[in-house]
Structures are given as structure tokens and as C-alpha cells.
Amino acid sequence: MLDLQASPPAAGRLLCDVAYVNDGDTLRCADGTRVRLHAVAAREADETCSPGHPCPAATAASATAALRRLAANRTISCETVGQSYNRVTAICWTPAEVEINCAMIRSGTTLVWEKFDRQRALCRS
């Protein structure tokens, strides 16, 4: 079972004042940093899925709305995992310490991207 209340480690945090939610797996911080949710796959805004990427049944609009409910206009903390297309890849938490990546998967609007989840698992307790 996925644990929504996993707390982030104290080290390696990036604080992000969320200014904009791009889609179901990417957001932008007020300082311009772009954050891609680690190991989370959502449809593109045009409802497509890139070849070789997991393709959720849920719409891009529903994933974007779910991420907005979790992160929009909040200061979230993120554990950076890597880089992807000029974006920081990260596991992020709401101020109430709900793991956003895990919550997105639990919402049914995104899928776990197993290839990346094996590198750094989501929903850890």
C-alpha cells in the first residue's frame, strides 16, 4: 500500500513557492526553477503520451487539476533526485508532509514510472 504520509529527509531539500502547475507532473517555482515529479507519468497537455513512456488512462486535465489541488500557491519542500530537460526531478511534500508524487499516483491520474521508481522509490515510510 502506498503511504501518503512519508516524511522527507532533512538534507537535500529544495523549498519551492509554487507559482504555476504546468501539467500533471511538472510545476514551476516562483524563483523560476522547474520541477518534474520523480517517477510520475502523466499525459501531455495535448492528451498524448510519448513513445516508451507509461500512459495513464486519466486525462491530462484531471492530472493537472490534481496537482493544482496539492501544490498550487503553496510552499512545498522537495528532495532533488536528478535533472530532466532543464528541470529538477524531485520528490515533493506539501506543508502537511503529504508526499505529492505518491498522492498523484494514488489519485489515479498518473502512473508510477517503474524505471525511475527503482532508482529512488516513491511512497516510502
CA 27 to chain centre: 8
For residue 85, the model assigns a pLDDT of 82
For residue 124, the model assigns a pLDDT of 74
Domains of the chain, each with CATH number or no CATH = 20-117 (2.40.50.90)
For residue 10, the model assigns a pLDDT of 41
Backbone angles phi, psi at 9, to 5 degrees: -70, 155
pTM for the structure as a whole: 0.86
Task: Output the tens digit of pLDDT for each of the chain's 125 residues.
Answer: 343 444 444 447 899 999 999 999 999 999 999 999 999 999 999 999 989 899 999 999 999 999 999 999 999 999 999 888 888 999 999 999 999 999 999 999 999 999 888 888 898 75
- Cα Rg of the chain, angstroms: 13
Q: How far is CA 6 from CA 3, 44, 102, in A?
A: 6, 27, 9
Residues facing residue 36 across a β-bridge: 26, 89
The torsion angle over the Cα atoms of residues 8, 10, 16 and 22, rounded to 10 degrees, is -30
Of 121, 82, 73, nearest to 99 by C-alpha is: 121
